[in-house]
Amino acid sequence: MLLISNIIMWREAVRFRGSEVIFINVGQGDAAFIDGYNSKNILIDSGRSDFGVKSGKYSITPYLHSIGISRINYLLLTHADSDHIGGAEYLINNFKVDTLLFGVSIPNSNLFSEIVNIAKNMNIPFKKIILGDLIKLGNYSEIQVLYPPRNYITPVNKTENNSSVVIKYRFANSTILFTADIEALTEKRISDSDLNMKSNLLKVPHHGSRSSSSELFLEKVSPLDAIISAGENNPYGHPSREVLDRYEVNGIRVHRTDKDNALIFRSKGGNYSLYKWK
C-alpha cells in the first residue's frame, strides 16, 4: 500500500515510531538518510560541493538539525564521484560521525583522500564493506551489502561507477535497494548471482542514466516504486527518457527529487508510505 502526500514540517519526523528514509534533494547528486526508532542511523552519500553547490552545508545539515540529529552513526560513501562525496568534509567537521564506510576499491581521488585524512585526524574509524557484510542498525533494521565482492579491482580505464557499493536496507518486511551509480555491467553481475534483490523500493542507479536500469535488473528487483535523485535541468539529461519509459512499461511508479523535492519513505514494518516534502 502506498500513500503519497505532502509533509509541511520536517519536525514531524521526530514523532514517527518506525523506519524513516529521507531522499534529500541535493540537486545533481545523491544523499539519503536512514533513521529508525531505537536504532542507529546511516547517511548514504553526501551530495556535491562543486560549482557553488554546498550540499553538506545547505541541504543535508538543515534537515538533520531540524529533526534533532547531531550525530551520524554511519557515513557511507558509495564511491568517489564528487556528486556523492562532496558534502562529506563539511559533515565530518560539523557532526559527530562514529564510523566512515566505503567499498574495497580505493579510488585515485584527491577529494576522497582528503576525506579519509580528515577522518584519521579526528580519530573516526573507517571500514571497508564488502559483499556479505551485514550491519545491524536495530532490532528490526539492517543493511545487507550486495556489492562489491572482496576481490573486486576497478578495471583500468573503466568508470568508478561500477565499483559503487550496493546495499539492501531492511526494516521488518519493508526493503529498499540502494544502487549508487552502478551501470549495466554491475547490474548484470548482481542479477546473475543468487542474491535476493527483490525490494519494495529501488533507488534508481546513476540518476536515471541510460547506462543503467537494464531490463533484467528491473525484473530481478521488481520494485513497486523507484526514486531518481537528479538536478533540475541538469546538463546530463538525467533521467533518460528511455529509462523512464522502461520503468513505466514495467509498472514501476517513479518519483524524482528534481520534480518532487525531497522524498520521505516511512514504514512500521508492513505497508509503507512515500511522502513528498514541500
CATH of the domain at 147: 3.60.15.10
C-alpha cell belonging to residue 155: 578495471
Question: Cα(152)–Cα(146) distance, rounded to whole angstroms?
Answer: 12
Give the separation between CA 278 and CA 43, rounded to whole angstroms.
21
Instruction: Report the percentage of the chain scoring pLDDT > 70.
Output: 90
Model confidence pLDDT, tens digit, residues 127-185: 999 999 999 999 999 999 999 998 887 665 556 899 999 999 999 999 999 999 999 99
CA–CA gap between residue 199 and residue 177 (Å, rounded): 6
Range of lowest pLDDT (4-8, 13-17, 122-126, 239-243): 4-8
**Is 14 or 276 the better-scoring residue by pLDDT?**
276
Is residue 172 in some structural domain? yes
Residue 17 lies in a domain: yes
**pLDDT at position 51:** 54
Inside any domain, residue 262: yes
- In this structure, the chain runs to a length of 278
Name the region of 157 (left: φ>0; alpha: ψ -120 to 50; beta: rest).
left
Higher pLDDT, 22 or 67: 22
Range of the domain at 202: 6-277
Q: pLDDT tens for residues 242-266?
A: 999 999 999 999 999 999 999 999 9
For 115, the grid coordinates are 576525506
State pLDDT tens for residues 75-88. Answer: 999 999 999 999 99
Comparison of pLDDT for 91 and 53, the residue scoring more = 91
Residue 118's pLDDT is 95
Is residue 237 one of the residues assigned to a domain?
Answer: yes
pLDDT number for residue 52: 53
Query: Sheet harboring 32-36: ordered strands across?
Result: 6-7, 272-277, 263-267, 19-23, 32-36, 42-44, 71-77, 96-102, 126-128
Question: Is residue 1 included in any domain, yes or no?
Answer: no
Is 49 contained in some domain? yes
What is the tally of structural domains in the chain?
Answer: 1
C-alpha to C-alpha distance for 164 and 155, rounded to whole angstroms: 13
Pair 179, 204: CB distance under 8 Å: yes
For 111, counting Cβ atoms within 10 Å of its Cβ (0-12 exposed, 13-18 middle, 19+ buried), the class is middle
